[in-house]
Amino acid sequence: MTRTNVTGALVAPPVLGALLGALGGWLWWTWWSPAPDGRIYDTPTGPAWYPDPFDPGITGDFGGTATFVVTGFALALVLGLVGAWLAREQAVPGLVAVLLGAGVAVGAMVLVGAAFSPADPATLVADHAVGDRLPGSMQVTGWTPYLAWPVGALAGYLVLLLSLPSRPERPVPPSFAPAPPG
């Protein structure tokens, strides 16, 4: 493998991760929307935003988080497969590049998805009156959903590397030297 190919195999996954992460953020927002509505209520501690209906259950949180996980995992598989194909002769450096690409993708997905999402309504309460309706914001609850990208990328990387045939050894040319006695 030439030096250019090795460099490409190590640079391409982080760049591809940024692009797939941005696409994932847009897909996450598109699939998740519209934002759940809520209302500003007067509480003993002051005005506060709550979803309307007041107790929608976990479905609202799960919807945003689940779409993040499903979208991220699917795109991470693509990242892992492409990264493995590019680095098929440099497995360990390629693995590091794919993991770096997955980390970049998580950040890009969160940034792009949050940019499309409405602002957190809890931060807008001071600018609105009690009874005003505001849309909710898209969030990921917990830290484990962020593992969808590295796990998906590693799965794709592993599947492709194990599926590719190993490179055959170069045959040793026959020797015309006499065999040792004995």
64-101 per-position pLDDT tens digit: 788 899 999 999 999 999 999 998 888 899 999 999 99
Asked whether 118 and 42 are in contact (CB, 8 A), the reply is no
Looking at mean pLDDT, say which of 12-16, 89-93, 163-167 comes out highest: 12-16
Joined together, the tokens standing for residue 112 give 């792009």
pLDDT recorded at residue 32: 77
Task: Count other C-beta atoms under 10 Å from residue 47's C-beta.
Answer: 15
> Hey, is 140 helix, strand or coil?
coil
Asked whether 100 and 13 are in contact (CB, 8 A), the reply is yes
pLDDT recorded at residue 42: 80
Joined together, the tokens standing for residue 85 give 């194909």
Q: What is the mean pLDDT of residues 22-34?
A: 87
Question: What are the start-end ranges of the E strands in the chain?
Answer: 37-43, 46-51, 133-135
CA dist., res. 83 & res. 78, Å (int): 8
> Hey, is 94 helix, strand or coil?
helix
Q: What is the mean pLDDT of residues 132-137?
A: 76
Contacts of residue 130, Cβ cutoff 8 Å, sequence gap at least 6: 40, 41, 42, 47
Q: At 127, is the pLDDT very low, low, confident or very high (cuts 50, 70, 90)?
A: confident
φ, ψ of residue 133 in degrees (nearest 5): -95, 135
Positive or negative torsion for Cα 27, 28, 29, 30: positive
Q: At 165, is the pLDDT very low, low, confident or very high (cuts 50, 70, 90)?
A: confident
Q: Is the pTM of this model over 0.95?
A: no
Indicate the residue type of 36. P
Task: Indicate if the pLDDT at residue 53 is higher than 70.
Answer: no
Asked whether 84 and 102 are in contact (CB, 8 A), the reply is no
DSSP state of 144: G
CA dist., res. 167 & res. 147, Å (int): 32
